[in-house]
Amino acid sequence: MDSHCGPAWVGFGHILAIESEHGQAITAYSTTAKLYPGYAQSVDSFKNALKVAEETKCQPQVWETIWINLGHAFRQLGELDNAESYFQKVVSMSPPNANVLTVLGYIYHVKEEFEEAIMYYHEALGICPYDPITHDLLNSCLKEMVHC
């Protein structure tokens, strides 16, 4: 495999996801994102991955991984509504994912929709109660909410 070929890494990520090697699949997808100089190109790559997943009738874990990566790419581009829509797809199709719930909280936090942010942070902490990042974000959100 050509280590500088983004589409090859996407395909490799799909294979790993199908084989239930989700951590390695995410690493492969992340490598794809690093090969492209900008997140906009990563978005295009992940959208192409969605087409391949649809055509090949991939398992739900593949869809989830692609949606998470698309959500993060859109978040990095500042397109929070698009990011939110992909993270919501993950929440709707799978058992609760604390990391995705924290990211949704963060998106609402940035949009200064503090009550929604707090709800998602609490939901994430209900799954992973000792997550220091979610605790810090929740405390920050509460402080900002008081000062508004």
One domain for residues 2 and 37: yes
Does some domain include residue 46?
yes
Does some domain include residue 131?
yes
User: What's the CA gap between 73 and 111, in Å, rounded?
Assistant: 17
CATH number of the domain bearing residue 27: 1.25.40
Q: Inter-axis angle of helices 22-35 and 39-55, to 10 degrees?
A: 130
One domain for residues 119 and 143: yes
One domain for residues 15 and 74: yes
User: What's the CA gap between 76 and 65, in Å, rounded?
Assistant: 17
Burial of 55: CB neighbours in 10 Å, binned 0-12, 13-18, 19+: exposed
Place of tokens 């402080």: 143
Does some domain include residue 52?
yes
Per-residue buried b or exposed e for 113-133, using 16+ beta carbons within 10 Å of the residue's own CB: ebebbbebbebbbeeeeebee
- What distance, in Å, lies between the first and last C-alpha atoms of the chain? 53
Q: 53 is in which domain, residue-wise?
A: 1-79
Does some domain include residue 88?
no
Q: pLDDT tens digits for 48-86?
A: 888 888 888 878 888 888 899 899 889 888 899 999 999
Residue 33, both tokens: 């994102």
One domain for residues 74 and 111: no
Does some domain include residue 133?
yes
pTM: 0.74
Mean pLDDT to the nearest integer, 125-144? 94
Residue 66, both tokens: 């692609």
How is residue 80 annotated by DSSP? H
One domain for residues 33 and 5: yes
Does some domain include residue 89?
no
Mean pLDDT to the nearest integer, 32-51? 78
Structurally, the chain folds into a number of domains equal to 2
One domain for residues 61 and 103: no
pLDDT of residue 10 exceeding 80, the answer is no
Does some domain include residue 85?
no
One domain for residues 103 and 63: no
One domain for residues 137 and 111: yes
Read off the pLDDT band of 115 (50, 70, 90): very high
Mean pLDDT to the nearest integer, 86-91? 94
Residue ending a domain, among 54, 79, 104, is 79
Does some domain include residue 86?
no
